[in-house]
Chain A
Amino acid sequence: MDRLAAMETFVRVVETGSFSGAARQLRVGQPAVSKSVAQLEEYLGVKLLARSTRGLTPTEAGLGYLERAKRALEEAAEAELAARGAGAGLKGRLRICAAVTFARIHLIPLLPKFLAQHPDLDLEIILDDRQIDLVQEGIDVALRMGRLMDSALTARRIARCKRVVLGTPAYFDREGTPATPSELSKHQAVVYLQEGGVWSFRRESSELAVTVQSRLRVTAAEGVRAAVLAHVGLAIASEWMFSPELRSGTVRAVLQEWDLAPHDLWAVFPSGRAATAKTRAFVDFFERSFNA
Chain B
Amino acid sequence: MSLQARLDAFKADFEAGKPPYSVPRSFIETMHRATAELIESGAAQRARKAGDAAPSFSLADPEGNVISSADLLNRGPLVLSFYRGVWCPYCNMELQALEAARPEFEKYGASLVAISPQTAPNSRKSVRQNKLFLPILSDVKGKVGAAFGLRFNLPDYLVELYKQLKNDLPTFNDDPGWTLPMPARYVIGQDGLILYSEVNPDYTRRPEAEDMIPVLQRAAADRSALHGGDGRSNDPAVEDVATA
Contacts and interface: CB of A to CB of B under 8 A. Distances in A.
Contact of A208 (B197, B202, B214): B197
Given A198-B50, A207-B49, A185 B196 contact: yes
Interface string B169-184: 0000000000000000
B68 interface: no
Given A180-B211, A200-B49, A206 B196 contact: no
Contact of B195 (A180, A183, A185): A185
Nearest to B47: A207
Given A198-B51, A200-B49, A209 B197 contact: yes
A213 interface: yes
B195 A211 contact: yes
Contacts of A198: 49-51
A150 interface: no
B104 interface: no
A133 interface: no
Interface residues of B, number: 28
A213 B218 contact: yes
A272 interface: no
Contact of B202 (A183, A204, A209, A210): A204
Interface string A184-206: 01100000000011111000111
Interface in B193-215: 193-202, 205, 207-208, 211-215
A59 interface: no
A182 interface: yes
Interface in B29-61: 35, 39, 44-45, 47, 49-51
A207 B214 contact: no
Interface in A192-237: 196-200, 204-211, 213
B130 interface: no
Given A198-B49, A209-B196, A210-B196, A182 B201 contact: no
A146 to B, nearest CB: 16
Given A182-B212, A186-B214, A210-B50, A205 B201 contact: yes
5 contacts: A182-B196, A185-B196, A205-B44, A205-B201, A210-B215
9 tightest A-B CB contacts, nearest first: A198-B51, A209-B50, A209-B49, A182-B211, A185-B218, A205-B39, A207-B44, A183-B214, A208-B198
